[in-house]
Amino acid sequence: MADESYYMGWGSKFASGTGTLGDTSSSPFYILLYSVFVRSFGAIGSIFLVKYFLTMSVSVAVFVFLMRNLRTYPISILLSFVWAVSTYNVNADIMVYHFGVLVFLLALIYCNTNKMVSVILLLLCSFVRLEYILVLVPYVVYLSALFIRHRKIENLLPFHGRSRRILSSATIVILLALLVYVSINVDGWNLGTDRTWFAFRQHYALSQVRAGQCDLDPWIDYNVLIDRDFPSSNSVFDAFLINPAPVFRHVLKNLLNLPKAILKPVFPVRALTYYLIICVGFLLYTFAI
């Protein structure tokens, strides 16, 4: 709730004309979304409506993405249902990640039919969470390599059919206008170095607390642990130079926990009940066809 209140506060200021969308590391596109909801439904109600909107929208986007790629209703419905009732979707409390996933899924949906739209969506995705730049840059390099090698990029812009051409052009114009609007309303082009250091301090402290090394609040007292293990450090690189061993251990521990972290978000709430429903429903559907 604290994170959503932060974004809602920025969105309220922007909606009233008394603020900006923040800098590029503050999820300006998400703040813009909040400003729309605040203007329409009020400050407090917008927090709950944004969560409902994003959980539903991402579930629909997951289904569309699966149908585009698997081209089979039973499996697409099954996997979409698993996502819809998953812990990550139902119990989400920081919805900016959902918004990033939504825009990213839209980029994936378009990448085979309209690559220009997918590039613009990835740019907008980077205005939700900066780490999506790590997807955008290789994708642009890949498209550039295709153009250099073949002198063309398949489905860069769909020109076949008048109605398709009009729809494609309208989509590109709208997305470009949105991209420009977000760009001119940010108040700084911070690439996230301060945010990275802040996140490292909090999550390093959290790992220490979970390991039983101390009895502090990692979200508030993180500087106590950072000063203990990395005195006088002002960045992750400083921390590594001052005391590399804890940094290595912290990174290694996170890498070892990666499989569990990937599986946990999509594990359904009340898993046995929902898996039973899924299996019975799938069997009934199979017999029906």
Q: Which tens digit of pLDDT belongs to each residue from 170-214? A: 888 999 999 999 999 888 776 656 677 778 888 888 888 888 877
> For the chain, what are the domain ranges?
2-184, 193-256
Residue located via tokens 């997918």: 118
CB 135 within 8 A of CB 129: no
Cα–Cα distance measured from residue 133 to residue 113, given in angstroms and rounded to the nearest whole number: 21
- Within 13 Å and on the Cβ side, how many CA atoms surround 210? 10
Helix axes 96-110, 115-126, angle to 10 degrees: 170
Which H helix or E strand runs over 64?
A: helix 43-70
Residue 105 has pLDDT above 70, yes or no: yes
Could you tell me the two tokens for 50? 């944004």
Could you tell me the two tokens for 203? 């999550």
Which H helix or E strand runs over 212?
A: none
Task: Enumerate the β-bridge partners of residue 86.
Answer: 268
* Per-residue confidence (pLDDT) for residue 186, from 0 to 100: 87
pLDDT tens-digit readout, 20-41: 888 887 888 999 999 999 888 8
pLDDT tens-digit readout, 110-151: 888 888 899 999 999 999 988 888 888 888 888 888 777 766
Count of beta carbons in the 10 Å neighbourhood of residue 171: 16
Query: In a 3-state reduction of DSSP, which class is residue 194?
Result: helix
Could you tell me the two tokens for 33? 């979304």
Residue located via tokens 């409902």: 52
Cα–Cα distance measured from residue 184 to residue 72, given in angstroms and rounded to the nearest whole number: 43
Closest C-alpha to 206, from 226, 177, 180: 226
Q: Give CA 143 to chain center in angstroms.
A: 23
Backbone φ and ψ for 243, nearest 5 degrees, come out as: -150, 85
Lowest mean pLDDT among 11-15, 217-221, 228-232, 238-242: 217-221
Mean pLDDT of 263-271: 58
Count of beta carbons in the 10 Å neighbourhood of residue 147: 12
